[in-house]
């Protein structure tokens, strides 16, 4: 049974994590409204309903806060598609569909998070730390898409180059996310999934049915 001192320590650690999570969520909100350069520590504190001293205590600088926010988004994104892969039952076609559809999970593809991702992508080329978190995730994801395409092509004996199909699917996902970020009246997440389903049928008609109307 935990002692009073142990319980207090656990409580403090939990409280610290809650505060950090509040500040990261507030940072996402501020970035969605004001962009990367317009985000300040004071804005984040106000959005979180906390004092600026609390922000400084947990993150010290704006750069550290932004790096932790990007890490949070990258970890959340990776966990989401890793979980989706487990639903495929070992079948390459089902795994590929689940993987691609997972990009449009409402928890991941929320407008505020898309806006934050867009802000980080714009800065990534000039900031190696950002590129590391964005790039490593993309490389792992793309490698799995390629492996699944190879397995489907081999199984279905499609006269296709897996590298080209995987590249096209990567470009499709990026284009759909860009549409959702920039269109004045973006289509729905279900429409995005229907677009993916149509492309999968076009590439692999033996494995995927034709997409119906959205």
Could you list the residue range(s) of the whole structural domain that residue 56 is in? 1-60
Q: Is the domain of 3 the same as that of 71?
A: no
Q: Is the domain of 87 the same as that of 54?
A: no
Q: Is the domain of 109 the same as that of 191?
A: yes
Q: Is the domain of 90 the same as that of 195?
A: yes
Final residue of a structural domain among 60, 84, 100: 60
What's the confidence (pLDDT) of residue 49?
87
Distance from C-alpha of 36 to C-alpha of 29, rounded to nearest angstrom? 11
| C-alpha dihedral, 149 to 173 to 188 to 123, nearest 10° | 160
Q: Is the domain of 112 the same as that of 177?
A: yes
Query: Tens-of-pLDDT digits for all 214 residues of the chain?
Result: 544 343 333 344 547 788 888 999 999 999 999 988 889 889 998 898 888 788 888 888 888 989 899 999 999 999 999 999 999 888 999 999 999 999 999 999 999 999 998 888 877 777 777 777 666 667 889 999 999 999 999 999 999 999 999 999 999 999 999 899 888 778 899 999 999 999 999 999 999 998 655 4
Q: Cα 46 to the chain's mean position, in Å?
A: 26
Q: Is the domain of 91 the same as that of 152?
A: yes
Distance from C-alpha of 203 to C-alpha of 214, rounded to nearest angstrom? 20
153 close to 90: Cβ distance less than 8 angstroms: no
Distance from C-alpha of 202 to C-alpha of 158, rounded to nearest angstrom? 11
**What is the count of structural domains for the chain?**
2
Tell me how many degrees the CA angle 139-188-31 measures, rounded to the nearest 5. Answer: 60
Length of the chain in terms of residues written:
214
Model-wide pTM > 0.75: yes
């Amino acid at each position: 049974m935990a002692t009073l001192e142990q319980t207090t320590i656990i409580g403090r650690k939990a409280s610290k994590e809650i505060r950090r999570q509040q500040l990261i969520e507030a940072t996402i909100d501020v970035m969605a409204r004001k962009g990367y350069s317009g985000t300040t520590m004071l804005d984040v504190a106000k959005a979180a309903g906390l004092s600026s001293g609390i922000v400084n205590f947990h993150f010290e600088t704006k750069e550290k806060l932004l790096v932790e926010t990007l890490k949070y988004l990258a970890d959340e994104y990776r966990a989401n598609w890793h979980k989706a892969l487990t639903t495929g039952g070992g079948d390459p076609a089902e795994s590929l569909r689940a993987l691609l559809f997972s990009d449009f999970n409402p928890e991941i593809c929320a407008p505020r998070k898309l806006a934050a991702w867009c802000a980080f992508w714009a800065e990534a080329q000039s900031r190696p730390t950002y590129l590391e978190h964005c790039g490593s995730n993309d490389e792992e994801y793309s490698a799995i898409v390629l492996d699944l395409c190879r397995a489907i092509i081999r199984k279905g004996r499609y006269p296709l180059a897996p590298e080209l199909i995987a590249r096209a699917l990567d470009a499709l996902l990026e284009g759909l996310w860009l549409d959702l970020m920039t269109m004045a009246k973006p289509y729905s997440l279900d429409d995005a999934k229907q677009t993916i389903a149509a492309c999968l049928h076009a590439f692999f008609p033996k494995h995927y049915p034709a997409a119906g109307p959205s």
